[in-house]
Structure 1
Amino acid sequence: MSQERELYLPEAEHGVLGAIMLASLGGNQALVDDIVGQVTSADFYHLDNAALFDAISDCLAQGMPVDPVTVSAVQRLLPSGDLTLVYAATISDNVPSTANAMVYARHVREWAVLRKIIDIGRLAAHQVAEGAPAPQIIAEAQQAMADLRDLQAAGKAGYKRMADVIPVVLDNMDNVLNDKAPPKLSTGLVDLDKLIGFLRPKSMVVIAGRPASGKTMLGLQIVNHVAIRGRGVGLIISLEMGEEELTIRTIASQGGIDLRRMEEVKCLEQDEWNRIGLAASQINGAEFYLNDTPGMTMASIRMEARRLQRERGLDILMVDYLGLVGTDAKSQNRADAVAKVSIAMKNLAKELGIPVLVLAQLNRNPAARPDKKPKSSDLRDSGQIEQDADAVILVHHDPESEAGQQGVTELILDKGRQAPPGSCLVQRQGQYARFVNFAGREPSWEEVEQGRSFADRARGRKNNG
């Protein structure tokens, strides 16, 4: 029996999908609602099945009947490259009735829980092999088990008494009090951590700015910090920059190498080569992944993130940038297409249980203001982005001002669900493709390196660097 066969029941996943289409065709909307209320796309192991469930959910959200034709209109191709119409029709034909629909749904959820248990064991074994402290392994396993309880409960009634939630809240508070809670993810910038209250699981964090403001630099640096300094697992979906450029920027940031000097290889001095070697060594030891495939759709982004999370774990995801995410529906106007992507990004953050950094562009409105400061309402293409975001960080760098010429950049938290609006200053080191903590002057490379205690704040591990 293959490993894939052991990790899920194909008949159960097909049975759920086929039963939904049959129930919709027969006008049994109550059964459709019951089935959809029991499972989520994250419960499906096979990526094509998960994508088909997403297409079915989109049809239901738009008030459309669910059948092979309608789901193929929503999403023409599946992650495997197969036609949605053919795949959905085959499943619908092979499921004889809806009689066992709820049994199929229960099996799908049970296997999702089993896979989660296996993942928890693999993660603990990996951390032991890496030499992580026992208290940290236990704390993260406890959090994973708490997430597992959430997974088991998700298929039950959607409503519950608030009194039933109180024990969970108090347990979480007790874990924090007794240092048993998983460490919070840090951005690596002290004042930004204070501003946003660290990076929260299941949150969609929008980083926006005008071109050349430094939004990509900030997002890349945060993922660098989590993956390299914090020993986490990071994934960047880059629809703008290529993988080589991102890697060069990371080497420059980690090693303190001038980007312009890295293009003049024959002129590099031995000290610079040493720094490049050190940075490359840090990257080699990190769980840091890139995908620069152009025109990726939300279905393909979700597929990549889910696969990495299943195989290696995943602590943070960055998408650069939202406006370049491909869409399947050609008839949608620009605002509707971007709004749909934004909603999908928010749902993905909740599904994966991690912070998702979504980079976005601003319109030209800030340039007309006396202080040139941006607002969340300046987000380009769709107001849905501001609505979906748990936090909106606006990168404001005015190269025409005296402070801007010195590299001073303001990070503005214009929206935060769990933090009040505010701002902080950081020092832009454009030549090194990074920001550093603001201290009234630009610190030297040595000072920056000596002041980095990133790993302790991000994942609770001691920085051995």
Structure 2
Amino acid sequence: MIDYWKPEAEQGVLGAIMKLALEGDDGGVEDIVGQLSSGDFYHPDNAALFDAIVDCRAQGIPVDAVTLGSIQRDLPSGERVMVYAVTLTRDVPSTANAMTYARHVKDWSVLRQVINIGQQAAAQAVEGLPASSIIEAAHSTMADLRDLQGAGKAGYKRMADVIPVVLNTMDDTLNDRAPPKLSTGLVDLDKLIGHLRQKSMVVIAGRPGSGKTMLALQICQHVAVRGRGIALVVSLEMGEEELTVRAIASQGGIDLRRMEEVKCLDDDEWTRIGAASSQIKESDLFLIDTPGLTVAAIRAEARRLQRNHGLDVLMVDYVGLVASDSKAPNRAEAVGKISTALKNLAKELSVPVLVLAQLNRNPASRPDKKPRSSDLRDSGQIEQDADLVLLVHHDPESEAGQQGVTELILDKGRQAPTGSCLVQRQGQYARFVNFAGDRMPSNEEVEMGRTFASKFKGKRS
């Protein structure tokens, strides 16, 4: 790798940290240390010294050459930590430019990674890998640089500065200038959760076959087709053709089994298929079915879509199949990091992210068989990260379950009280409809019942 680095910046920032510590400027030390990591330093000795500084602070020990030498005796080069620390502290001219040194170290760290990405792409091209695979790998890695480039930009602000934003939003709502609220398309579910909120992570969980994928896909379809919004479905389980067939069946009210028997379809069914296909073609409903995607890759695709077309809702099916790009010691910790990354992605994109999750077998042992948030499989971090936890409960052994009655349980809601609502499962059409008591609603009644569609007026910017 080409030696693109700035030794004077790395040594300067380390010397400045130690001089600020000697001067008792703990705030100045915190400002610098909070922006950097040992990975930002090119020279191993500088990276090791920075780690020793962080260790000192974590243990509440004052930072100076002697304490650093007690934390770590030698540097990777063999030089004594205390000797090197004394030299850097003595040679730094002033602490006034400490933040500039830190910015240079960060910039050169990013530059080295950009160069490394290009070198890796060149090596993969020599190996004969497909161009599409090389581009995707490079694109995903570049997405991770967002965190490096954005470091140091976060900070506190007075709540008073946020009040005008809140009041303006309320005024827009009062005067019908606010963008329409995102609806699920199911009346009772909208009443239960309020609406799909920006920056929220909505976990939709259930046992296999409960209908969680059907529900989430239907919500995305409603936003894109009925609401004229923009939805992205990331499916790590189903292929794009299966997802599209389900969307056509749901939109047109065609039996899924009949769609597999093409030669047996009658004229009315072909008409419905044509109408549903036209509606989907005119919508902004996007799909990704690439298996084994990491959160970084999902982020890169979502940001690209948002930049090119916009984005109103993102669906990830499901969290247990998202590939981990960390060296977590176990699966629970890996899934926990993935969950937190998806929560951060919702805030970054400022859209609701529907995260599908599996449940363990605990509900089967309960008398009512109803699931709880604590039944989420793989990691308890999923429940902690979620703004809403919606559990799909369908008991096929009960009389109501045999009639397709499904309970949607809101077991956690940051801005909505817990509760539940009933919906009618129409599995043959791959959809849920508003619950209408003891009778099964007809297709015409289903379409008439989708009253929230009228709230969407044009695409959101």
TM-score clears 0.5? yes
Runs (4 or more) in structure 1 with deviation over 3 Å come to 17-38, 64-70, 97-106, 154-157
Partner of 1:99: 100
The answer to whether structure 1 residue 384 and structure 2 residue 385 are counterparts is: no
3-state SS in 2 of match to 1:211: coil
Aligned-pair CA distance for 1:170: 2.1
Given the superposition, is the C-alpha separation of residues 432 and 171 from structure 1 closer, same or farther in structure 2, using an over 3 Å criterion? same
Conservation of the 8 A alpha-carbon contact between 2:331 and 2:378: yes
Q: Which residue of 2 aligns with 1:90?
A: none
Match of 1:296 among 287, 293, 296: 293
Gaps of 5+ in 2: 19-26, 45-97, 108-149
Deviations 1:126-168 (A, max 9, x none): xxxxxxxxxxxxxxxxxxxxxxxxxx9x9474131x3333332
For structure 1, the 5+ residue unaligned runs are: 1-13, 39-55, 71-96, 107-151
Secondary structure, aligned partner of 1:310:
helix
Relative to structure 1, is the Cα distance of residues 423 and 31 closer, same or farther in structure 2, using a 3 angstrom cutoff? same
Q: CA 1:27 to 1:370, structure 2 compared with 1: closer, same or farther past 3 Å? A: farther
Aligned pairs (5 A) from 1:288-367:
288-367=285-364
Q: Contact 1:295–1:325 at 8 Å: present in 2 too?
A: yes
Q: Does 1:452 align with 2:450?
A: yes
Match in the other structure for 2:188: 191
Q: Which moved more, 1:163-172 or 1:394-403?
A: 163-172
Matched residue of 2:371: which SS? coil
Output one character per residue of 1:397-451: Cα deviation in whole Å (capped at 9) or x when no partner.
Answer: 0000000000000000000000000000000000000000001122111221233
CA contact under 8 A between 2:186 and 2:450: conserved in structure 1? no
Contact 2:187 2:452 (8 Å CA) reproduced: no
Q: Which moved more, 1:18-27 or 1:293-302?
A: 18-27
Q: Which amino acid aligns with 2:280?
A: I
- Partner Cα distance (2:190, 2:9) in 1: 45
Contact persistence 1:206–1:357 (CA under 8 A): yes
CA deviation map 1:168-215 (0-9, x unaligned): 222222221111211100000011011001000000000000000000
Distance of 2:432 and 2:312 partners within structure 1: 22
Paired AA for residue 284 in structure 2: E
Tell me if 1:216 matches 2:217: no
Query: Is 1:406 aligned to 2:380, yes or no?
Result: no
Equivalent residues in 2 for 1:410-425 (5 A)? 410-425=407-422
Counterpart selection for 1:242 from 235, 239, 242: 239
Closer, same or farther in 2 for the Cα pair 1:207/1:452, shift >3 Å?
A: same
Contact kept? 2:187, 2:450, Cα under 8 Å: no
Counterpart position of 2:95: none
- Quick check: 1:232–1:314 contact (8 Å CA) kept in 2? yes
Distance change >3 Å, CA 33–CA 373, structure 1 → 2: same
Verify the 8 A CA contact 1:187 1:199 in the aligned structure 2.
yes
Amino acid at match of 1:260: R
Q: Percent identity?
A: 70
Equivalent in the alignment of 2:176: 179
TM-superposed CA distance for 1:66, in Å, is: 3.8
Matches within 5 A, 1:272-291: 272-291=269-288
| Contact 1:374–1:394 (CA under 8 A) maintained in structure 2 | yes
Give how far 1:101 is off.
5.9
Structure-2 residue corresponding to 1:158: 156
Say what the alpha-carbon RMSD is for the aligned residues. Answer: 3.2
1:363-378 to 2 correspondences below 5 Å: 363-378=360-375
Distance 1:448 1:19, change over 3 A: farther
Change (3 A) 1:23 1:356: farther
2: distance between equivalents of 1:28 and 1:429? 64
- Give the distance between the partners of 1:23 and 1:193, measured in 2 at CA: 57
Q: Secondary structure at the match of 1:218?
A: helix
CA drift of 1:338 comes to: 0.4
Q: Judging changes above 3 Å, is the alpha-carbon distance between structure 1 residues 65 and 330 closer, same or farther for their aligned structure 2 residues?
A: closer
Amino acid at match of 1:267: C
Cα distance in 1 between the residues matched to 2:206 and 2:9: 43
User: Which residue of 1 is the match for residue 441 of structure 2?
Assistant: 443
Distance (whole Å) between structure 2 residues aligned to residue 36 and residue 351 of structure 1: 24
CA distance in 2, matches of 1:18, 1:299: 31
Bigger Cα displacement from structure 2, 22-31 vs 436-445: 22-31
Choose the corresponding residue for 1:393, options 368, 390, 393. Answer: 390
- Structure with larger Rg: 2
Q: TM-score, normalised by structure 2?
A: 0.70
Partner of 1:111: none
CA–CA separation in structure 1 for the residues paired with 2:258 and 2:192: 34
- Name the SS of the counterpart of 1:200 in structure 2: coil
Q: Which residue of 2 aligns with 1:88?
A: none
Kindly provide the amino acid, as one letter, of the partner of residue 269 in structure 1. D
In 2, Cα distance between equivalents of 1:392 and 1:183: 23
SS at match of 1:354: coil
Cα 1:331/1:193, change in 2 over 3 Å: closer
SS of alignment partner, residue 99 of structure 1:
helix
What is the aligned length? Answer: 351
- For 2:306, the aligned partner's letter is Q
Contact 2:202/2:390, CA 8 A, preserved across alignment: yes
State the 1:332 CA deviation. 2.5
Q: Are the counterparts in 1 of residues 32 and 99 from structure 2 also a CA contact under 8 Å? A: no
Q: How far 1:34 sits from its partner (Å)?
A: 4.8
Aligned mate of 2:426, from 410, 415, 429: 429
Give yes or no for contact 2:229–2:458 (8 Å, CA) kept in 1: no
TM-score (norm 1): 0.69
CA contact (8 A) 1:339 1:382 kept: yes
Q: Secondary structure at the match of 2:329?
A: coil
Q: Give, in angstroms, the shift of residue 348 of structure 1.
A: 0.1
SS at 2:389's partner residue? strand
The CA distance in 1 between the partners of 2:433 and 2:101, in whole Å, is 58
What letter is aligned with 1:159? K
* CA distance in 1: counterparts of 2:170 and 2:264, whole angstroms: 55
**Can you list the C-alpha shifts for 1:54-102, whole angstroms capped at 9, x where unaligned?**
xx8xxx5xxx6544699xxxxxxxxxxxxxxxxxxxxxxxxxx973765
